[in-house]
Every structure is written in structure tokens, then in C-alpha cells.
Amino acid sequence: MSVFQVDCAGMHYDLRGQKIIALAPSSLSAQQEEFIVVRGKSGAGKTTLLSILGGMLRPTEGRVHLGSVELTALGPAARAKLRQTSIGFVFQSMHLLPYLDLLDNTRLAGGSEARARELLEQLGLGDRIHHRPAELSAGERQRGAVARALVHGPALVLADEPTGNLDPESAALVLEAFQSFRTNGGCLMMATHSQEPIAESRTVYLGPKGLHSADER
């Protein structure tokens, strides 16, 4: 069974009488241990696609399944519960809580303290676990957000530009953590502007006509 299945999911809204297409109807599915990289121009709808897959936004058309559950048929409370157990999300703007230190921010998503410490060590933040976001660099905050997405052992991790603020060395640590997650049975989808190739990943492109594979470019 696929980890997720997107069937012609699209998103549009009216802005002062003008129809804005946030995501052209798109279809996609992914299996366990799959790493999907979504590339596309700014405004193509990468964040919207990740948000729909994460159950944080309801598409205006199409359907999304997470495992056997139709995500688009669930109400806000059921989607929130599903996020807590099955989905990890790395926001483009990190969104760490300013009053919690890195360890508490990571544990906010659930999981054990030992697992949180282990992930923070793996991401090179072992000596910063008791520092608050304001005391960290943008790159450190970004890695902290990655740890928070992985800590509760979700089936699917959605990452929006997780390496955008990182130096090559830190980016490598993040990708290493993602690959470790994948090889342990997880499924991962990452949106990025970067054209850098990512090992053992499948790249899809998002444009005005929706998702298409690299071959269709």
C-alpha cells in the first residue's frame, strides 16, 4: 500500500474577484522508503502541496489518501490527530516556539527525550539543546525544526525548503538524517528551489499544469 496517494488535488481561491490557482490539479503517490523531491518556481504551489498532504489545508478539488485513510474526508480534529501520529512537518519558516529550548521544541511533537537528544546530536546540535531559538543561528533553528519533524517516528515527513538556510556541511547532516529516516521505512517529500541532485530520490516538478515527472519537463 502506498504511504500517500494524491488524486487530482488542486487548490484555488478568489482574491478580490480574481481566481488564483495556488496548486494546479496534481496526482502523485509514494511508497515506504521513498524520497520525493519537489522542485518548481516560487509560487508554483510546492508549499500548498505539502500543506495539503500534511492535512493542514483542505484542497478545493481532488482527494488525498494517507495509507487507507482519506485525508480530505476528515474534519480538522481527526486531521490533527493524524498529524500527531503519522506526519512530520518542517516549515520553511521553522516556527519553533520562542520560549522553549531546542530539546523542548523537539519534544513538543511527541517522542521520548532520549530520541530527541539522539536526533539533535545527529544533526550537530548536541551542545545547543538548552538554548532557545533566539540564541541559535538560522541554520541551527532549521536543523532543530528537522529534529522536531522526525522525533515522533512518523510514517511521512514533509519538508519545505529544509536546507535553504544551511551551509553545505549542515545541509549534508539534514539529508543524512532524512536518508536514515527513509531507510528505516519512512517516506519523505521535500520541496526545494535547489537544483542540486539528491541521492536515492525521485524528483517531480510542479508547474502551472500541476505535477509532472523529470521526463516530462
Partner 1 sequence: MSILRLVTKELLLRRWSALLAVSALGATVAAALFFFLLARSNEGETRILQRDMGLNILILPPGTSLDAYWAQGLAPGSMPVEFLLELEDQGVANRLVPMIKRRHNWQGREVLLTGISGEIFKQGKTMKPVFGRVVEPGSLVLGDEIARLLSLEEGASVELLGRTFGISRVLAPVGDEQDVQVFLDLGDAQSLLDLDGRITEIEALECHCSEEVADPLAALRVELDPLMPGAVIVRREALADARRDQRQLAGRFLQSGFPVIAGLCALLVGALCMLNVRERREEIGVLRALGKSSGQVAALFLGRAAFLGLLGGATGVLLGGFLASDLGRVLFETRAGAVNLELDLVLVALFVTPAFAAVASLIPVALAVIQDPVRVLGETS
Site residues for partner 1 per CB under 8 A: 22, 42-43, 45-48, 51, 54, 56-58, 76-77, 80-85, 87, 89, 91-93, 95, 97-100, 104, 107-110, 132, 148, 160
Q: Which is nearer to partner 1, 12 or 179 (CB)?
A: 12
All three cell numbers of 160: 519545505
Compute the least distance from the CB of residue 157 to partner 1, in Å: 13
Compute the least distance from the CB of residue 117 to partner 1, in Å: 15
Q: Which is nearer to partner 1, 81 or 209 (CB)?
A: 81
Compute the least distance from the CB of residue 215 to partner 1, in Å: 26
Q: What ranges in 18-153 are assigned the alpha helix state H?
A: 46-53, 76-86, 102-107, 113-122, 138-150
Q: Which is nearer to partner 1, 47 or 122 (CB)?
A: 47
CA distances, 61 to each of 98, 148, 179 (Å): 36, 30, 32
Compute the least distance from the CB of residue 96 to partner 1, in Å: 8
Q: Which is nearer to partner 1, 97 or 214 (CB)?
A: 97
All three cell numbers of 105: 521544541
Q: Which burial class, exposed, middle or buried, applies to 198 when counting CB atoms under 10 A from its CB (0-12, 13-18, 19+)?
A: middle
Closest-CA residue to 174 (of 94, 130, 119): 119
